[in-house]
Amino acid sequence: DVVMTQSPLSLPVTLGQPASISCRSSQSLVYSDGNTYLNWFQQRPGQSPRRLIYKVSNRDSGVPDRFSGSGSGTDFTLKISRVEAEDVGVYYCMQGTYWITFGQGTRLEIK
């Protein structure tokens, strides 16, 4: 199985400041079609997960442009340029190249 490792697991951030979450996979996520199936999800307290980013860097419809994804191969990053109160929750990376596996989650809280 492909193991997804996120860091940090807890992320206290001051409102208006940037935040960054790292996600590493145990093997390259480049699929045979040339795509890299790495997604990011946000799960607010008491809600279902919501996809933010697909294929590394593509924002889903309605996702604020303060969210961005980057990376390649085995190393990926989700960045929030200026954290807002509504960003509190748990963030998960997910690989879909080899079936599907999720990272452990990173809990973002306001400092």
Q: What's the rounded Cα separation, in Å, for the pair 10 and 56?
A: 22
Q: Are 3 and 101 in contact (CB under 8 A)?
A: yes
Q: Does 22 bind another protein (CB under 8 A)?
A: no
Q: Does 31 bind another protein (CB under 8 A)?
A: no
Among residues 21, 42, 52, 54, the one that binds another protein under rule CB under 8 A: 54
Sheet holding 19-25, edge to edge: 4-7, 19-25, 75-80, 67-72
Q: Does 50 bind another protein (CB under 8 A)?
A: yes
Q: What's the rounded Cα separation, in Å, for the pair 92 and 100?
A: 12
User: Binding string to another protein for residues 73 to 102, with x set by CB under 8 A, is what?
Assistant: -----------------x-x-xxx--xxxx
Residues that bind another protein (CB under 8 A): 1, 35, 37-39, 41, 43, 48-51, 54-55, 58, 60, 90, 92, 94-96, 99-105
